[in-house]
Structure 1
Amino acid sequence: MWFVYALSAAVIWGVSYAASGRAIERGIPPVLFFTLYAAVATVMGLAALLATGRLGMLFRIRGVIGDDWVWLVVAVVTSGVGALLIYLAIGEKNATLASLIEISYPLFVAFFAWAFFREVQFNAMTVLGAALILSGVAVVYLANRA
């Protein structure tokens, strides 16, 4: 199922970026868009926790995650900053180009998984895929430097 979830997320992000690009280019400031996104995500998250019977976990996070609570804070804060930055990038250029550069993030996932946790998540084929992604990012950047 992981592949279905990941591919579905890619489709949904495609819709989201195209629509957010339209809203931002029509005058909605990226920071306002991000604020609306965060508000909707909060409501959806609380509804999902309630529907799954996990709302109580909000009050037991430290007990559930133990000493790794710092990583939860890092994950949540960086997710928010990343979302804000992509909307700012969309506002500065456009959704397609911003997302084509952002697509390099799996390389950083692998690097930080190794740097923080000493997990090696690459094999020969993922290294090849990473090289293709990096070369694609370089082509997009060089073709759109203005």
Structure 2
Amino acid sequence: MSTQSKTMPSIDLKVYVRVVALVFSISATTAFVFALLRLLYPEFFYLDPIAGSDIGIHYFISGMMIVTSGIGFLNSCVVMHRSAMQNAGRNITTWLLLDSLFETSRVIYVFVCEIVLKGKGPVQLYELLVSAAQYLLDSFLYCQMILRH
């Protein structure tokens, strides 16, 4: 009589790293596009024109998101294209730390855009929903990556 394992099949760590890097790069690309849209077309995100100090906050937070999402994207692309032997140890830790910088910036970005700038434009809800879904998926994969690493 043979006994079958009741655990889920495990993905090889080399493949898993690349899959997670792909998901992270998609998340960074999405954040980059939304931040760029916010910067170029603020009327998509705010029903009332922004004025006063809100303009400075708008440009600062959008610029911050563009820079950190660019770093997140490039960081994940490096991981996807690096050899499997180099995707270990300190390199993985550095990758995850840089990704956490992007994720932290994204949380701050969404908070500021929702609460401080009171975004209510036609694209704002989509950005919020996409950001929340991607953040939850990225956080889950991030935790799994730490456990597997």
TM norm structure 1: 0.31
- Higher relative contact order (CA closer than 8 Å, sequence separation 6+): 2
TM-score (norm 2): 0.31
